Amino acid sequence: MINYKDKIVSVLSKNVKEIKETKILSMIETPPNLNMGDFAFPCFGLAKIFRKAPNMIAQDLAEKMELDKIFNRVSTSGGYLNFFIDRRIFASEILNEVINKREKFASSTMGKGKTICVDFSAPNVAKPFHVGHLRSTVIGNSIYRINEFLGYNCVGINHLGDWGTQFGKIIVAYHNWGNKEEIEETPISSLLKLYVKFHDEAKSNAKLEDEARAWFVKMENGDKEALSLWKWFSEETIKELKKIYKRLGVEFDYYTGESFYNDKMDVVIEELTSKGLLKENKGALIVDLDDYDMSPCLVQKTDGSTLYATRDLAAAFYRKKTFNFYKSLYVTDYSQNLHFAQVFKVIDLMGHEWAKDNIHVPFGRVTHEGKRIQTRKGTVVLLDDVLKGAVEKVKEIIKEKNPNLENKETIAEDVGIGAVIFNDLSNSRIKDVSFSWDTAFNFDGETGPYVQYTHARASSVLRRGEEQVDFDFNSEMLSDDITLKVLKEIYEFPNAIKNAQIKSEPSIVTRSIIDIAQAFNRFYNEHQIIVEDKEIRKARLAVVKATKQVLSIGLNLLGIKAPERM
């Protein structure tokens, strides 16, 4: 597509040689209303250079402009230089691009030959998948999809929490209060009860904590009973997790949990030792990071057991060796900021320049009714319950408003799950989110169902249009302000995807498709589309087809289905 800002830079740079082209580009604005032009260049920053008032500079520049044919005219308003595009060319360019490229519209080859690892979701084995895990899962999945759409080779990794002292706790709890039949029948809830029971009992019996640590050491030393129980707990949990991932439409290339790196840590510890980075501190092994205003990175405990940092170091080296990544992203909540800063600094101190290519992508925490979610206290909201609730809510709406809808079960699933995902991704990644049952299933306003319904509406119009929408349309029929607004939002869509990739921020895509849906619905309400006049009908159907295509792409990048009917 035509890059209008680049064209403006090209024209201005011939007359404003005192400023670099990159600076000119950054100064170009989009006016708040169409009467002020489609693009504007403020001349206030040029006053000192030209020693003139900004309005006089704007007038001088306007007189010297040799406009490209894509612009109708240029005018001045105060200290602004306002550019008006040729709407006919604009409409033709955008619609032909979308209709021609279809699902590839806004895609790119910018990532060709580069691999990005995305470590996301990573729930703990033998613990429930609750609403707090949703954020990492859907944010990571969207980041994966966005990067893949822009040509990167993506590797999705589920770094399951399948190792650590918590398994010692569950083994102790199982020995004291467990029931094999209960775990086999309802693994997640039964294991959660045992975990909560352990912590309740440990308040009055401190020996339980010592027993748990001892069982974990047994696991690390290869004890058959400990590993057998660990494997059983893990397998039962993963079966349940995969059911939820399937509902969410999330797939992973690798399930390589913490245990996967058990035989890969010694090499890292040996390198740390050989490079003189390990120090003993009260029987533990650490990397001192005082010079970098960070607390020490603990690599090995006094009892010889390893920690998250040890395994994350081993994981980073394994991923670099296996995938030779361009970037390796870790999608976790911001409470792990220090942990990853320590791990990445240790890799840097080991002399590996690729340390800088490891990036923590933090997100805000999820609370329940304003309170922190704590598995050990049993204060969790199971994600499966939330998904079921959302789908049931959609079924109620369908029953009330469209009882004869075909494929009701599938559509209820797609819309209910989509609502949950969209609700999360519509928030800025770093923002804390408070889960509330009262608002969890709010489908009014700027929501996933609103965008999905707009897509279904566009699909319905195209079915009623009963003709092939191709490149044979008259773009002169699309020059009104309302249509222009739809086209402008579509024009900005590729930029939204690229910004989302740069910032690892799916909410930018969410905002973009909301804006497109709102502009389209105004277009739909203000303009009759299926009219007698063939030229008008074909032109407006082209707008409908392009909107449908872009909404489908946007929803897919968020991991949400785009129903044809609702």
What does the pLDDT read at residue 188?
Answer: 81
Of the chain, the percentage scoring pLDDT greater than 70 comes to 95
Q: What CATH number belongs to 383-558?
A: 1.10.730.10
Alpha helices in 249-336 (DSSP H): 265-274, 308-323
| Mean per-residue pLDDT, 65-85 | 92
Contact 277, 287 (CB under 8 A): yes
Q: How many CA atoms lie within 13 A of 515 on its CB side?
A: 16
Domain boundaries along the sequence of the chain: 4-85, 115-262+315-377, 383-558
DSSP string, 5-25: HHHHHHHHHTT-TTS-HHHHH
| Mean per-residue pLDDT, 2-26 | 92
**Residue whose token pair is 């090209």:** 10
> Residue 254 corresponds to which amino acid?
Y
The neighbouring-strand residues paired with 161 are 124
What does the pLDDT read at residue 375?
Answer: 47
| Mean per-residue pLDDT, 484-492 | 96
Question: Which token pair is 274?
Answer: 């050989």
Question: Nearest Cα to 287, choosing from 355, 341, 349?
Answer: 349
Contact 304, 296 (CB under 8 A): no
Per-residue confidence at 414, pLDDT binned at 50, 70, 90? Answer: very high
| Mean per-residue pLDDT, 207-231 | 92
What does the pLDDT read at residue 192?
Answer: 84
What does the pLDDT read at residue 264?
Answer: 94
Three-state DSSP at 82 gives strand
Q: What is the pLDDT of residues 254-271, one digit of tens each?
A: 999 899 998 999 999 999
Per-residue confidence at 67, pLDDT binned at 50, 70, 90? Answer: confident
367-368-371 Cα angle (round to 5): 70
Q: For residues 328 and 319, what is the distance between their CA atoms, to the nearest angstrom?
A: 8
Per-residue confidence at 225, pLDDT binned at 50, 70, 90? Answer: very high
> Residue 342 corresponds to which amino acid?
Q
Contact 362, 505 (CB under 8 A): no
Question: Nearest Cα to 349, choosing from 286, 269, 267, 275?
Answer: 275
Give CATH superfamily name and number for 4-85. Answer: Arginyl tRNA synthetase N-terminal domain (3.30.1360.70)
Per-residue confidence at 470, pLDDT binned at 50, 70, 90? Answer: low
92 or 237, which is more confident?
92
* DSSP state at residue 489: H
pLDDT over 70 (residue 205): yes
Q: For residues 13 and 5, what is the distance between their CA atoms, to the nearest angstrom?
A: 12
| Mean per-residue pLDDT, 396-400 | 91
pLDDT over 60 (residue 308): yes
What does the pLDDT read at residue 376?
Answer: 46
Q: What is the pLDDT of residues 342-391, one digit of tens each?
A: 999 999 999 999 999 999 999 998 776 555 555 445 556 778 888 998 89
65 or 457, which is more confident?
457
The sign of the dihedral angle between the CA atoms of 248, 251, 255, 257 is negative
Q: Right CATH number for 115-262+315-377 from 3.30.460.80, 3.40.190.10, 3.40.50.620, 3.40.50.300?
A: 3.40.50.620
What does the pLDDT read at residue 34?
Answer: 87
- Left (φ > 0), alpha (ψ -120 to 50) or beta: where does 324 sit? left
Mean pLDDT score of the chain: 91
Q: For residues 281 and 223, what is the distance between their CA atoms, to the nearest angstrom?
A: 28
Q: What is the pLDDT of residues 143-154, one digit of tens each?
A: 999 999 999 999
What does the pLDDT read at residue 121?
Answer: 96
Provide the pairing of β-strand 366-368 with 371-372. antiparallel
Q: What is the pLDDT of residues 324-339, one digit of tens each?
A: 999 999 999 999 999 9
pLDDT over 90 (residue 395): yes
Question: Nearest Cα to 170, choosing from 262, 221, 256, 237?
Answer: 237
